[in-house]
Amino acid sequence: MPQSHTGDERAAAEEIAPLIEQLNGLLRRLDAAFTAQRSFIADAAHELRSPLTAVRLQLQLLDRAPDEPARQQARAELGAAVERAVHLIAQLLTLARQEPQDARDRELVLVPLGEPAAEAVARPIRWPCRAASSSRCNPPTTPVIVRGDREALRILVRNLVDNAVRYTPRGGRVEVNITRGRRCSAADR
């Protein structure tokens, strides 16, 4: 026979319901944080694999270099590979330090996209066996301004240019063009 709840039992259940709701919310947030952390670690390991493989290859080339000019070339390429790995690690650490709450609290400013694009193209890109032979930024005819995090946009554009240079066929040219697109609405998200 089912037991009926007395008024005191119902009142106690109603009093602890908010606590149970808060604990369940906390557990959901913890699960999301652990999932994000596992994803970040997997992404970081994947991203570090390529530059570390390049360092290993450059060390092997240095060991096998037949003469001093070949050793100097191998040292230069090894230095560039180490520089890329250090840059990537710095970016990963920056990303790891950014909490989702930090991103929401960060002040968004008006950023002319031509600035980070010109900076990204002006900075020398040192890939061993660099594919693209040149890169340039074509300034927009009218400024293209977005509201965003200036440093995050700078990193984003730099990564795009780095990847373009890295994967452009030898002798190719990387051009960065900034144009206005259509405006995104809430329905696009």
Q: What are phi and psi of 140, to 5 degrees?
A: -65, 150
pLDDT at 5: 57
Domains of the chain by start residue, with CATH = 1-102 (1.10.287), 106-189 (3.30.565.10)
Closest CA to 36 of 122, 124, 95, 121: 95
Distance CA 180, CA 185 (A): 15
Residue indicated by tokens 């709701």: 21
Per-residue pLDDT of the chain in tens (189 residues, 90 and over written 9) = 555 556 677 776 777 888 888 888 888 888 888 887 777 777 777 777 877 887 888 888 888 999 999 888 888 888 888 887 887 787 777 766 665 555 556 678 998 988 888 888 777 555 544 555 667 777 778 888 888 888 888 888 887 887 787 778 878 888 888 887 766 555 554
pLDDT at 179: 82
Tell me the CA distances in angstroms from 94 to 38, 151, 155, one per residue in order: 17, 10, 10
Question: What does pTM read for this prediction?
Answer: 0.50
Angle of helix 68-97 relative to helix 7-64, nearest 10 degrees? 170
Distance CA 149, CA 113 (A): 11
